Amino acid sequence: MALLEATFETRREAEMSIEQLVQEFDLDRKAIEIVADGALNSAGEDTSGGDNASDSPSPSERKDAALNDRIRVLVNVDDAAEAQRVRDAFSEFGGDRS
């Protein structure tokens, strides 16, 4: 068993990576952990999703998102094939592997 990890600029990128692992690659959600990559609560370094401004009648861009640090995703893998799928998902969604 090995632990793989990557950091993402936004929570959305981290979640997209996780969803690919779970839905497309059938990885057990219990093998995945998502945390802030620093001491403070964080939604990532950049706005995404509902924090961005959009067309009327939606409200303007939010300024209260906790943009304190990157998002870290950690995944326990059992074998080399699973590890490669995890690395591919990290890369597809902009994860920087450590």
Domain residue spans of the chain: 2-47+67-97
Q: What is the pLDDT of residue 84?
A: 94
**Residue 76 confidence (pLDDT):** 95
The pTM of the full predicted model, rounded to 2 decimals, is 0.71
Q: Which helix (H) or strand (E) holds 13?
A: helix 11-19
Q: Which two tokens stand for residue 68?
A: 């304190």
State residue 6's pLDDT score. 96
Determine contact, residues 97/4, Cβ cutoff 8 Å. yes
Q: What is the SS3 assignment for 18?
A: helix
CA angle, corner 56, sides to 50 and 60, nearest 5?
A: 45
Q: What is the pLDDT of residue 38?
A: 73
SS3 44: strand
Name the class of domain 2-47+67-97. Answer: alpha beta
pLDDT digits (tens, 9 = 90+) for 25-82: 999 999 999 888 876 655 554 555 555 555 555 556 655 555 557 889 999 999 999 9
Which of 1, 68, 6, 66 is closest to 34 using CA atoms?
6
Write down the pLDDT at residue 10.
Answer: 84
